[in-house]
Amino acid sequence: GVLPLCRQPPAWGRAAWQSPGPLQSPGLPLAPCRAFSNNKILVELDESSGVAMMKFKSPPVNSLSLDFLTEFCISLEKLENDRACRGVIITSNVPKIFSSGLDITEMCGKSTEHYAEFWRAVQEIWLRVYGSNMVTIAAVNGSSPAGGCLVALSCDYRIMVENPKFSIGLNEAQLGIVAPFWFKDTFVNVVGHRVAERSLQLGSLHSAAEAHKIGLVDELVPEEKLQERAVAVMAEWLALPDHARQLTKSMMRKAVLDRLVAHREEDIQNFISFISKESIQKSLRRYMEMLKKKK
């Protein structure tokens, strides 16, 4: 299952990830940048600034499969447990796409046990990113529909590449599925009730310019400036005392987080009964066929 993995990072991960104390490495300077890479995610921590760069590298579209979510979870846990890390910039290593969102193959023709495990992993990643003690910045360097948009929405700040070809939004309605209440809450808290209501009902995907106009992303930059700008914004956020910022963030987000925690099992059951409906399975199959044709 996903939870044991997420809650208890493997011992080797924890040990390798903690910086060696002076006793362990006499006379050896600490490497300024430590990296760990899994199959689908690359993480590099710059110890001098306390900033980690997390890059999604699961071609073709960084879809949020169960494996991807588990790895994402473990990577975040390692960073949260590392005293040297104060902030994380989340971006993509795959051209033109940040993340295409939830992996539809995980929701099509599988067992109820599988649906439960998958949905718990989706919940877990949101709880972790939205509730993180670290400063989280999404450097959105490609399109980011549905679950990809949720990952960006869950961060403290969003910078997107100014490119008319890239879009972002919670477009679940287009696939005939409904964004859960916690997706909706996160969206409302960013763009306001009216914009969220219209956007969710229409399953809108917003161009980068539109996304900026409605406040879905905080700023737009040319592609070549994205990383540099994300690092500069991170420095502004890290200039504040951590505890004051963390307590403020917790105060702002606690009610939304608590709502899912209180209704977690019920939310999983709702997802299972919804996704198991033949009509929903049919529309997901249709969507997958359409994607195959596009290729």
Nearest Cα to Cα of residue 168 among 219, 68, 99, 90: 99
Tell me the catalytic residues.
102, 147, 171-172
What type of residue sits at position 6?
Answer: C
Omega into 164 within 30° of 0, i.e. cis?
Answer: no
Q: What is the pLDDT of residues 128-148, one digit of tens each?
A: 999 999 999 999 999 999 999
The CA distance from 127 to 123, in Å, is 6
Nearest Cα to Cα of residue 175 among 104, 116, 117, 115: 104
Average of pLDDT values for 215-233?
A: 98
pLDDT on residue 34: 74
pTM of the model: 0.87
Q: What is the pLDDT of residues 8-67, one digit of tens each?
A: 333 333 333 333 333 333 344 444 567 777 789 999 999 999 999 999 999 999 999 999
**Can you say whether the dihedral through the CA atoms of 235, 237, 238, 240 is positive or negative?**
positive
Average of pLDDT values for 167-173?
A: 96
Q: Give me the half-sphere count of Cα atoms (radius 13 Å) on the Cβ side of residue 148.
A: 28
What long-range pairs does 49-52 form, CB within 8 A, spacing at least 24? 49/231, 49/234, 49/235, 49/238, 50/84, 50/85, 50/86, 50/87, 50/238, 51/85, 51/86, 51/87, 51/88, 51/89, 51/231, 51/234, 51/238, 52/79, 52/85, 52/87, 52/88, 52/89
User: What residue ranges define each of the domains in the chain, with the CATH number in brackets?
Assistant: 33-294 (3.90.226.10)
